[in-house]
Amino acid sequence: MNNKKSILLTIDVEDWFQVENFKPWIPFSSWTDYKLRVEKNTHNLLNLFDTCSSTHNSIQTTFFILGWVAKKLPQLVLEIQSRGHEVASHGYYHNRCDQQIFSDLKKDLENSKKLLEDITGSPVIGYRAPSFAVNNDILKLIEDCGYLYDSSYNSFSLHDRYGSLDLSKSIKKQAAYRLSEKFYEIPVSNLKLKTRNMELPWSGGGYFRLIPLGLFTAGVNIILKRNNAYIFYMHPWEIDPDQPKVDNAPAFFKFRHYLNLKSTKKKLFKFIKKFKQHKFISCSEYINHQFH
Ligand SMILES: [Zn+2]
């Protein structure tokens, strides 16, 4: 029996000034004032994946790209595609799905999909919501806009922005859920402590930067044992210690955003190396394996 498990690395391609945390200090109207750093940071991630591919095994990941970034940097989208990774959508303007009227959200979902398809010349089937803010009604709209899967459910309920989903009526295969004939959900992975009936955020982002690698790896191994798959997320700005600082944001926001930026690239490299016996595949490939 093949005992290889699946690791799904996912990257939300947005720049440091587009995060929800800093919205009150950097409104959408000022985005064009900032010099883009996302291209260089994404290239650094692509290079890291290539290095890992050459020494371990082939690393295929999914990049959920913000439409606003894709419009400015179509060559970056093509680069991601040409280096063998899946191109998917992170929406157009990084507005939270649960804070938009449905007609605006529909436009955002459709326009970001179409833009990426026009650039790549290939279908774009995956979506990741900003701040993981989804619910069952929003998922239905994502499906109606032509996506085949969503990867926005984060079950860590203590975070104030994450949405909630009822997946009880869906068919579960390993870490993915079939919600309808042609629509799937791949939640990011968290660590359930069965003995204490609680859940810890273990899917990446700031938690990956916070938790020591040995402990993080142990948690991922528990998740892999239970689910045979682990879904991780991060952003290109998380490997960029030289990004400009938002001094007037509250201390907790700054802690969350700036923690360990210097060491994260190296940590990611070591993390991938620790799981080199497993397969690193994109979200769409994973769904294909599970359901087709
Ligand atoms: Zn985002």
What pLDDT does residue 1 have? 47
In a domain, 200, yes or no: yes
Rg (CA), the chain: 18
Query: For residue 64, how far is its CA from the centre of ligand 1 (angstroms)?
Result: 9
In a domain, 205, yes or no: yes
In a domain, 150, yes or no: yes
Residue 83, pLDDT > 50, answer yes
Rounded to whole angstroms, the Cα distance separating 155 from 159 reads 9
In a domain, 146, yes or no: yes
Query: For residue 3, how far is its CA from the centre of ligand 1 (angstroms)?
Result: 33
In a domain, 87, yes or no: yes
pLDDT in tens, 184-240: 999 999 999 887 778 899 999 999 999 999 999 999 999 999 999 999 999 999 999
In a domain, 1, yes or no: no
The residue segments making up the domain with residue 72 are: 6-291
Query: For residue 288, how far is its CA from the centre of ligand 1 (angstroms)?
Result: 25
Query: Are the C-beta atoms of 261 and 267 separated by less than 8 Å?
Result: no
Q: What is the CATH number of the domain that holds 94?
A: 3.20.20.370
Query: For residue 94, how far is its CA from the centre of ligand 1 (angstroms)?
Result: 6
Query: For residue 195, how far is its CA from the centre of ligand 1 (angstroms)?
Result: 33
In a domain, 262, yes or no: yes
| Predicted TM-score (pTM) of this structure | 0.96
91 sits in the region (left: phi over 0; alpha: psi -120 to 50; else beta) called left
Buried b vs exposed e over 195-229: b needs ≥16 C-beta within 10 Å? eeeeeebbbbbbbbbebeeeebeebbeebbeebbb
What pLDDT does residue 122 have? 98
State the helix-helix crossing angle for 264-274 and 38-55, rounded to 10 degrees. 30
In a domain, 119, yes or no: yes
| Mean pLDDT of the region 264-285 | 96
Number of domains in the chain: 1
> 88-102, 162-176, 265-279: which range is least confident on average?
162-176
Query: For residue 245, how far is its CA from the centre of ligand 1 (angstroms)?
Result: 18
State the helix-helix crossing angle for 74-82 and 38-55, rounded to 10 degrees. 10
Query: For residue 12, how far is its CA from the centre of ligand 1 (angstroms)?
Result: 6
Query: Are the C-beta atoms of 186 and 148 separated by less than 8 Å?
Result: no
Query: For residue 11, how far is its CA from the centre of ligand 1 (angstroms)?
Result: 9
- At 106, which amino acid appears? K
Query: For residue 31, how far is its CA from the centre of ligand 1 (angstroms)?
Result: 14
Rounded to whole angstroms, the Cα distance separating 129 from 125 reads 13
